[in-house]
Amino acid sequence: MLISCIVFANLLFVNGTQSQAAGLQNAKVTASILNVRSTPTTKATILWKLSKGQQVQITQTGNGWSKIRYPNKKDGWVNSSYISVINQPAAVSSKTLYVTATSLNLRKAASVNSTSLTLLKKNAKVTELSRSGSWSKIKYSSYTGYVSNKYLTAKAPVSAPKKPAAVVAAKPKTLYVSASSLNLRKAATVNSASLTILSKNTKVSESSRSGSWSKITYKSYTGYVSNKYLTSTAPAPAAAKPAPAPSVPAKPASSVEYVKIITNDVNLRSGPGEKYSILDKADTGEKFRKLGSSSGWIQIELPDKRKAWVADWLITYNVSNTRGLKGKTIVLDAGHGGTDSGAVGYSPSLKKAIMEKDLTFKMVQKTAIHLRNAGANVILTRSTDVKPSLQARVDIAEKYRADAFVSVHYNSGSASSTGVETFYYSQSKDKRLADCIQKEMVKASALRDRGVKKGDLHVIRENSRPAVLLELGFISNKAELDKILADSFQDAMSLAIYNGLKTYFN
C-alpha cells in the first residue's frame, strides 16, 4: 500500500512541478512556432515543434504548462500561454437534415484540411448529432464525421415530377424548320451536344414527340429538336430566277454595327439565300460592318467595299470593332471540380496532398479580377466545387458567344517533369491566342517553355469559339509544386494570362 502511494505521488510531480490530470480538451496553437519539450521546463529537450493554428489534445496541466497529444508524435509539454482551449460543441438532439450542395465532403474532423471520408450527393438524408459554429457532426450510412452546416437544410427535397411518356408517331411525319437556325441535339435537353445546325425550311422526318421535344431524322443525323420551331406547312417554292439582291442603305456612322463570323469556311454570297453565287469565304473571328438584313440573312461590307450576304446563324451580333479587352466576353474554365480532383501532388512544406481542382479554381478567380477591371465580361464555367461535364463547359462558351475560352489546368508526370505549355485545336481559330498566352506565362513563371501544341481535347476540339487549354506547371514535381503554391507565382501567372489575352485582342 505504501509503495502504491509513493508511485501515485510521483505521477503528480514532474521535474519538481506539481501537475493535475485534465479531461481531454482540444486546443489550438496561438504562437507562430511552439516548442514541444520532454518535461515542463524551458531547459528540457525539444522533442518537436508546432505551427500556429495546429490543433492538439491537452491531457495534463500544471504550473503554466500543458502536456499535449498530437497524432503520430510523442506526447510532450508546452507553455500554456501559447495555446487556446477550443470550446467543445454544444450537444443537440439528433436531427434529420438534407444536403443542399451538389456534392459535399463528409470530413474526419471539423476542418477543410481534414481527410474526406466520402462525398454526399444533393438531397442526401443525414442525422445531425451536434453542432459547433459552422460545422455539424453528422451520421450518414456507416460514416460519422463533420460537414459545413451551411449546406444542410431541414426541408425535405421535393420529388421530381415524372417525365411525360414519349408519344411515338404511327408513321414518320414530314415537317419543316421555321426558325432561322435550329440545333439538332444528341438528347432532348438544351445542354446536350449539337449534332448539326438546321437552316430555315429544312425538311425533316419526325419519328416521335415528348412534351416540347421531337425526335427527328435529317440526312444521316437522328436527334432531338424543340418542336415549337417545326411546322407541317411546306415553304413556298422559290422563283425560277432569283430576284436581284435588295439594296440596303448603309447605317449612319453614329449607329454602325459589326458582326463576327463564328465558324470556318463560311460562304459570303451575292444575295440573301443559298441560291446566290459565292463572292468570297470567311473564317472564325473575322469581323464585318453590318449594312442590313433580309429573311435571316445579313448584308455586310467586305474590306474592299464590296457588299455580300451571310446567313445569320453563322455570325454573332453587336460585336465591338475596337481593340483591347473592354466589352469582350471571356469564358474562364477551372479544370476538374467536385468528385473529379484532377491530378494530386504532395507538398513537403505543407505536409499534405494538393488537388489540381483547387489550384485551377484559385487561378481562375485571380485572373477574373484582372479581366473585369479591364472592362471584360467574364463568365466562369464553375463558381463552386462542382464538376460540369466537358460538353457543358463548351456549351457555356457557345451560349455567350465568347470572344475567348481559356481552360486552366496543372500538369502531372514524373517527379522531375517541369514547365508550362498551351494546347490549341484549330490553327486558324485558336493558334494565335495560344501563342500570346504561352509567351506571357513563360516570361512570368521562369519555368521551362514546353511550347504551344495541337491537342485533341474536348473543350477546345468541340468549341466553335477561340479556345485554348493551359498547363501551368507540374504538381507531380514537389519542388515545382511548392513554387506553384506561392502567392507570388499565382499572382504572376494570373497576370500573365491577362496580359496574353490583352495582347491577343490588341
Q: Looking at the domain assignment, is residue 246 inside a domain?
A: no
201 with 335, same domain: the answer is: no
6 with 33, same domain: the answer is: yes
Q: Looking at the domain assignment, is residue 322 inside a domain?
A: no
Burial label, 176 (beta-carbon count in 10 A; 0-12, 13-18, 19+): middle
Give the Cα separation of 171 and 207 in Å (integer): 7
Q: Which residues pair with 56 in a beta bridge?
A: 27
Q: Looking at the domain assignment, is residue 159 inside a domain?
A: no
Instruction: Provide the b/e sequence for 381-410 (b: ≥16 CB within 10 Å).
Output: bbeebebbebbebbbbbbebbbbbbbbbbb
17 with 72, same domain: the answer is: yes
Closest CA to 31 of 86, 88, 80, 87: 80
Q: Looking at the domain assignment, is residue 240 inside a domain?
A: no
Q: Looking at the domain assignment, is residue 415 inside a domain?
A: yes
145 with 41, same domain: the answer is: no
Domain boundary among 34, 52, 85: 85
Domain boundary among 124, 153, 182: 153
Give the Cα separation of 474 and 502 in Å (integer): 26
Question: What pairing do the DSSP bridges indicate for beta strands 404-411 and 329-334?
Answer: parallel
Domain boundary among 153, 178, 203: 153
Q: Outline where 329-413 has alpha helix (H).
A: 356-373, 390-399
DSSP letters along 130-190, please?
EEETTEEEEEETTEEEEEEGGGEESSPPPPPPPPPPPEEEEEEEEEEE-SSEEEEESSSST
Contact yes or no for 266/285 (Cβ under 8 A): no
* Per-residue pLDDT, 498: 96
Give the Cα separation of 101 and 387 in Å (integer): 12
63 with 104, same domain: the answer is: no
Closest CA to 497 of 410, 381, 371: 371
* Per-residue pLDDT, 161: 55
Q: Looking at the domain assignment, is residue 247 inside a domain?
A: no
Q: Report residue 159: phi and psi, to 5°.
A: -65, 135
361 with 433, same domain: the answer is: yes
* Per-residue pLDDT, 169: 46
The domain total for the chain is: 5
Instruction: Provide the b/e sequence for 346-379 (b: ≥16 CB within 10 Å).
Output: eeeeeeeebbbbbbbbbbbebbbebbeebebbbb
Indicate which CATH number applies to the domain containing 257: 2.30.30.40
DSSP letters along 207-271, please?
EEEETTEEEEEETTEEEEEEGGGEESSPPPPPPSSPPPPPP-PPPPGGG-EEEEE-SSSEEEESS
Question: What pairing do the DSSP bridges indicate for beta strands 152-153 and 90-99?
Answer: antiparallel
* Per-residue pLDDT, 450: 96
Q: Looking at the domain assignment, is residue 469 inside a domain?
A: yes
Which residue range forms the structural domain that includes residue 121? Answer: 90-153
Indicate which CATH number applies to the domain containing 444: 3.40.630.40
> Three cell numbers at 167?
408519344
Closest CA to 126 of 96, 156, 93, 94: 96
Q: Looking at the domain assignment, is residue 479 inside a domain?
A: yes
Each residue's pLDDT, cut to its tens digit, for the chain (506 residues) gives: 444 343 333 444 334 444 444 456 788 889 889 899 999 998 889 998 999 888 888 888 888 888 988 888 888 998 988 988 876 554 456 789 999 988 888 888 888 778 888 888 889 999 999 888 888 899 998 889 998 988 999 988 876 555 555 444 447 889 998 876 678 888 888 777 777 777 788 899 999 998 889 999 988 788 998 888 899 888 877 554 454 444 444 434 334 677 888 778 889 999 999 899 999 888 877 888 888 888 778 999 887 889 999 987 788 765 555 678 898 999 999 999 999 999 999 988 888 999 999 999 999 999 999 999 999 999 999 999 999 999 999 999 988 888 899 999 999 999 999 999 999 998 878 899 999 999 999 999 989 999 999 999 999 999 888 999 999 999 999 999 999 999 999 999 999 999 999 999 88
Give the Cα separation of 208 and 339 in Å (integer): 36
287 with 225, same domain: the answer is: no
280 with 380, same domain: the answer is: no
CB atoms within 10 A of CB 110: 20
346 with 479, same domain: the answer is: yes
Q: Which residues pair with 332 in a beta bridge?
A: 380, 406
Q: Which residues pair with 182 in a beta bridge?
A: 198
222 with 349, same domain: the answer is: no
* Per-residue pLDDT, 312: 79
| CA angle at 380 for the pair 373 and 337, rounded to the nearest 5° | 135
296 with 311, same domain: the answer is: yes
257 with 279, same domain: the answer is: yes
